[in-house]
Amino acid sequence: MKFQKHSLVLVVPFVILIIWLTSAADTDRPCLRKYLDNGSADTLVCVCTADYCDSVTRAMPSSGEYVIYSSSEAGSRFEKSTGKLQSLREDGMYSINLELDPTVTYQTIDGFGGAVSDAAAITWDSLKDPGLKQNFIQSYCSSSGIQYNMLRVPIGGTDFSTRAYAYNELPENDAALTNFTLAQEDYAYKIPLIRACMEAAVAPVHVLGATWSPPPWMKTNNDYVGYSRLKKDHLQTYADYHYKFLEHYAAAGVPVWGISIANEPLHGSVNYLPYGFNNLGWTLDDMTQYIVHHLGPTLRNETSKFKHIKIISGDDLRFTITLYWNMLVLLFPETLQYLDGVAVHYYMNKYVPATILSQAMEDYPGKFVIATEICAGGVPTDAHLTSWGKAELYANDIIENLSNNVIGWTDWNMCLNMEGGPNWRGGRVDAPVKINAQAGEFYKQPMFYAIGHFSKFVPRGSRRISATVESKTDVQNLAFLTPDNTIVMVLLNKGSAEKVRIILGKKEAVLSLEAKSITTIEMLNLY
């Protein structure tokens, strides 16, 4: 008797501790708020330290219920709540009615992610504390974070590196690439980040490679920057260069899903741009030769280990889709046997309507458009944007892109230092996560949550579905049918508080959207 009493005293607190620990594991951790710089309301970030980092889990809605997550300029970050679906009221009076129809489907989503540039990976590594580095990985890749499943990795250096470099720079004119190795940046920074993300991720991570500049000896100007072409006798060398990169990444545990022909080829094709960065210019003629006689046969060869890799053209400003897709495949249709799709970047979008993206693919079933780069604070028109303004910019970009049949979306640098670097050309831009290595902290900016409202809740294999807006509104929307047979809808409200009625069959959900907010709602598919 005495013994039992004694053990109860010991066991009860232990059981309580276990219950607390296990429930803590799936409890969302709120944002640890901090105002950067001058403390104005618009500099709000969420701080992660080695001991604390905010998190959010995706809760499966039960039948008859919906789950919503909301972030806003006023300071909500993935605030989760649930509501009950109601029977549709025919006389319901709301300013905004949104009717979902999961029987009308569009493109299948492949994924969301960001770029593991040298700058991002070096800055991540500068956090030193393994727990803090892991909090970054969890935040971006795991089920308690925003579930990235796509990462873009530069093949060699970019301007967002601490030096200019490519692989096999020496010996020069080494067409056999006898000295091909990866760089210290790959082994010490980029591969560890990618592998940590792959381990934490909920789905296989699709890695997209792109080259900014080959070694200078392959180029007409013998330099990393400036107006250039690939020397004609190095077209096959350049294809082999990519094959070797794929081999080395696979050997290091990172299988690559797709590569583009070049990053921003237009940049090296014109010679009057003030800010030069690592690049390679192309004529459509050379590009075709390269695709059809060199890269294509090298990768899709019987003996190739990379037969299934996606080959993507473009990877440049949106308006260049007319050049690197429409014109390329019209003038040189032989490229179509090798090209899986075209990639576009965000910059200078306002000069061309997004509809050119869906139009571009109408005649080419099976080919895709993917958005591979956006970045805020980099072009003068973005510089004035406030912090929540950048979240809106990102959410608007994703909505516009995915409304136009884009299958995947990747951001530029996953993180940068507090100055927006490093960058060997002196360039400075913003990123969703800023790293303060000295303080042993990192900061999640509103852009991070803006991406997460999509990336976390729209898993690979989701299909965009029809959503009809019955009234004129500034609230933008996207809706999906997920592989879990749920319906996910993301709403971007750039204006004042709104009441929105979402209609699904004979049911409705009435949501109050905060002013300047992004909301994700998930419910079971009742169709």
- Mind telling me the catalytic residues? 264, 373
List 64, 92, 131, 171, residue binding ligand NAG (CB under 6 A): 171
Residues 358-377 that bind ligand NAG (CB under 6 A): 369, 371
Give 38 or 103: the residue with its C-beta nearer to ligand NAG: 38
| Contact of 352 with 319, CB cutoff 8 Å | yes
- Which one-letter DSSP state was computed for residue 324? I
| Binding segment toward ligand NAG, per CB under 6 A, in 144-152, 214-222, 251-259, 398-406 | 398-406
* CA count, 13 A, side-chain hemisphere, 471: 14
DSSP alpha helix (H) spans, 265-349: 265-269, 284-289, 296-299, 321, 328-331
Give 133 or 294: the residue with its C-beta nearer to ligand NAG: 294
Sign of CA dihedral 41, 47, 52, 57: positive
List 291, 354, 395, 458, residue binding ligand NAG (CB under 6 A): 354
Tell me how far apart the alpha carbons of residues 288 and 79 are, in angstroms, rounded to a whole number. Answer: 50
Is the N-terminal amide bond of 130 cis, ω within 30° of 0? no
Instruction: Give least dist CB 431 to ligand NAG, A.
Output: 16
Q: Could you say whether residue 152 binds ligand NAG (CB under 6 A)?
A: no
Instruction: Give least dist CB 329 to ligand NAG, A.
Output: 17
Tell me how far apart the alpha carbons of residues 150 and 144 are, in angstroms, rounded to a whole number. Answer: 17
Instruction: Give least dist CB 419 to ligand NAG, A.
Output: 15
List 22, 27, 40, 283, residue binding ligand NAG (CB under 6 A): 40
List 397, 441, 514, 522, residue binding ligand NAG (CB under 6 A): 397
| Contact of 361 with 354, CB cutoff 8 Å | no
Q: Could you say whether residue 468 binds ligand NAG (CB under 6 A)?
A: no
Tell me how far apart the alpha carbons of residues 55 and 144 are, in angstroms, rounded to a whole number. Answer: 5
Residues 312-351 that bind ligand NAG (CB under 6 A): 318, 344, 346, 349
| Binding segment toward ligand NAG, per CB under 6 A, in 38-46, 47-55, 77-85, 282-290 | 38-46
Q: Could you say whether residue 406 binds ligand NAG (CB under 6 A)?
A: yes
Whose structure tokens read 């429409």? Answer: 326
Give 291 or 406: the residue with its C-beta nearer to ligand NAG: 406
Question: Helix, strand, coil % (nearest 5) of the chain?
Answer: 30, 25, 40
| Binding segment toward ligand NAG, per CB under 6 A, in 36-44, 86-94, 185-193, 501-509 | 36-44
Give 202 or 336: the residue with its C-beta nearer to ligand NAG: 336
Give 133 or 345: the residue with its C-beta nearer to ligand NAG: 345
DSSP conformation letters of 354-401: THHHHHHHHTSTT-EEEEEE--SSSSHHHHT--HHHHHHHHHHHHHHH
Residue nearest ligand NAG, Cβ-based: 349
Q: Residue 253: which region, alpha, beta or left (left: phi > 0; alpha: psi -120 to 50)?
A: left
Cβ atoms < 10 Å from Cβ of 24 = 9
| Binding segment toward ligand NAG, per CB under 6 A, in 32-40, 154-162, 211-219, 485-493 | 32-40
Return residues touching ligand NAG (CB under 6 A): 37-38, 40, 42-43, 170-171, 179, 181, 297, 301, 303, 318, 344, 346, 349, 354, 357, 369, 371, 386, 396-397, 400-401, 404, 406
